[in-house]
Amino acid sequence: MKTKMTLLIAFLFLGLTSSFAQDNEACNNNLSLFTEAVKAKNCKEAYPYYQKAIQDCPKYNQSAIYKYGEDMFECFIDAATGEQKKKYINELVGLWELRMVNYASKSPRGKYASKIAELRYDNRALLGLTDEQIYNEFDAIYKSDLKNFSSPKGLYVYFKMMVNLYDAKKKTPQELFDKYDDVVEKLETEVRENSADLNKIVVKEEAGTPLTKRDGQYKRFYEQTLSALDKIAGSVDSELGDRANCENLIPLYKKDYEANKNNAQWLQRAMNNLYAKECKEDPMFVKIVKQKYSLEPNADTARYLYVITGEQKYLDETFRLETNPIKKAVLYYKQGNDYKAKGNYSQARNYYMKSVELNPSNRKPYLQIASMYANSAKDCGSDAFSQRAVYWLAAQEADKGGSSSAATSYRGYAPSKVDIFDKNMNGKVIKIGCWIQRSVTVPN
């Protein structure tokens, strides 16, 4: 009897295994036909295979189903109009929602819900969506999964909708400024994280270690992401525009100061905004900075106190208090900008170079140094030739900064081949004086 029972269990197990294998084989064959059709841009041919895959095998090779399903629907959406386009949009939204359920480990809500909201925003007229509906979609993402809500476009649209609602008198000035601070802080977080990852590859590259194919791919990804974040940060500031100026900010902060004078975040945001909008001469700025310093001193507060008082101890404290290398690099860069604006180019260069040392993936300091060299050409050369030779130095810095257009422009002001020949300067080294104190070799 025991032997018969064992044989029966084995038979049933073999039957289930055989059935499972057949199901997997059917899923695999169908998925193969689907992916090949999408790759060949035969989206109509792919659609029936997709329907079968998503219905019968939603968890079989999920990465392929969702990746190629997304490609297929984007193909449909690009070509369709009217109600047909709306149908495909809704189906793609459904695919992403299903992905977040069935493939949750690789589909964070902050990323895929943002893709949904961006798609709906891009087609808001067709879908009949209001600014408030779009804003609420992004706001729900911000509140539920801020960590993975990192799309530069999504963050921009989120703030743009807030601006539209503010202009329509549906949001208060405080709500507008709070949301601006929220988005800017998130953008800064993304910049820091991507910069830190890119710096690891840049340091490896500058040390002469060959980059792997994977390194190269990640380097391009981080560079593109940082470029997008930089553009979006500028666009967010443009959207805010004159809605945040001294005339608007100071009365608001005066009104709310007593209720928030022990709120470190409110004080931090208030002084940041007042400084950014050139309100630093107003007594309210001084009052907020001193209160923040007494409550919770940090690098920003110390720096603002240096701006107010000019006392070196506060500048020293600025860089002592900041321990995050990317944040410290930003502070060095800002201080370099301050010195540059005052015409103290030597000090500005020192701070720009300190910024590069901490954040080598940020090439902006080199461009600032290049512009200072160019601005000093007439002052730092002993004769017309050496004055124009300064532009070679500027071009070298622009090359380091990754701007070939700026480098080409600077070289256009440098001595020509004819000038070099006439002066018999081929290959000679010219020492540039004044604050620059650098040497440049004349090209052969």
Instruction: Return the HEC string of 323-389.
Output: CCHHHHHHHHHHHHHHHHHCCCHHHHHHHHHHHHHHCCCCCHHHHHHHHHHHHCHHHHCCCHHHHHH
pTM attached to this predicted model: 0.85
Rounded to whole angstroms, the Cα distance separating 418 from 401 reads 28
pLDDT at 415 over 70: yes
Altogether, the residues listed in the chain come to a count of 444
Are the CB atoms for 117 and 134 separated by under 8 Å? Answer: yes
Of 176, 231, 272, which Cα lies nearest the Cα of 158?
A: 176
Of 26-35, 148-157, 194-203, 231-240, which range is least confident?
26-35
- What's residue 23's pLDDT? 64
CA angle 261, 267, 272 (to 5 degrees): 155
Angle at 151 between CA 197 and CA 240, to 5 degrees: 110
Q: Residue 8: pLDDT band by 50, 70, 90 thresholds?
A: very low
173 pLDDT more than 70: yes
Q: Residue 5: pLDDT above 90?
A: no
Weakest mean pLDDT among 10-14, 90-94, 421-425? 10-14
369 vs 420: which has the higher pLDDT? 369
Question: Tens digit of pLDDT for each residue in 84-121?
Answer: 999 999 999 999 999 999 888 899 999 999 999 999 99
pLDDT digits 0-9 by tens, 352-410: 999 999 999 999 999 999 999 999 999 998 899 999 999 999 999 999 999 999 999 99
Q: How confident is the model at residue 63 (pLDDT cuts 50, 70, 90)?
A: confident
Dist CA 227 CA 205 (whole Å): 20
Which pLDDT band, with edges at 50, 70 and 90, does 16 fall under?
very low
